[in-house]
């Protein structure tokens, strides 16, 4: 069994470069940007997020995001956050196994609430690494800024995720 695992790892490492996305491809990203289940001081917190991007060209990607959340201590306990993003992918011609990207996300938090909704802007820089022809590991670092009067704290954060290309 160990031999088969080692051979598979060597084949992946020495295989030909995987194809990067091209114009018209769709990307679904599941990341640490939202995806949590926690029990804190008797409260239950849960949220899940997905971002969906469309490659207008090989380099330019536009997309949207939705996050559903639940907090047992909040009133109301459910929330919906919506957002959008743009990324410029530094993909060279031909096939690529990994590449850098830069972009910006704009998110509106808790759109179902009657209270003031925080709006944040997050410029970021990251890298994608193709694990197969249609799955990539993704990481990025960004600076999340509050654009509203709610006075959220500005933070630097790192996100990790898996991308699936269609």
pTM over 0.85: no
Per-residue confidence at 3, pLDDT binned at 50, 70, 90? low
Length of the chain: 166
- pLDDT at 57 (0 to 100): 94
What would the pLDDT profile of 144-158 be if each residue is shown by its tens digit? 899 987 777 888 888
Handedness of CA 13, 14, 15, 19 (dihedral sign): positive
SS3 content of the chain, % helix, strand, coil (to 5): 10, 55, 35
Class of domain 23-165: mainly beta
Q: Where are the domains of the chain?
A: 23-165
What would the pLDDT profile of 116-127 be if each residue is shown by its tens digit? 778 999 999 999
| 3-class SS of residue 86 | strand
């Amino acid at each position: 069994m160990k031999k088969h695992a080692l051979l598979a790892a060597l084949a992946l490492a020495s295989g030909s470069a995987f194809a990067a996305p091209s114009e018209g491809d769709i990307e679904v990203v599941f990341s640490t940007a939202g995806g949590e289940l926690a029990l804190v001081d008797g409260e239950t917190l849960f949220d899940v997020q997905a971002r969906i991007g469309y490659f207008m060209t090989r380099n330019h990607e536009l997309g949207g995001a939705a996050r559903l959340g639940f907090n047992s201590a909040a009133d109301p306990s459910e929330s919906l956050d919506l957002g959008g993003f743009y990324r410029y992918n530094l993909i060279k011609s031909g096939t690529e196994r990994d590449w850098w990207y830069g972009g910006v996300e704009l998110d509106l938090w808790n759109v179902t609430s009657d209270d003031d909704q925080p709006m944040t802007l997050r410029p970021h820089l990251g890298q994608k690494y193709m694990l197969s022809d249609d799955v990539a590991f993704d990481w990025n670092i960004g600076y999340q800024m509050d654009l509203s009067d709610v006075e959220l704290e500005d933070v630097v954060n790192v996100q990790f995720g898996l991308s699936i290309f269609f």
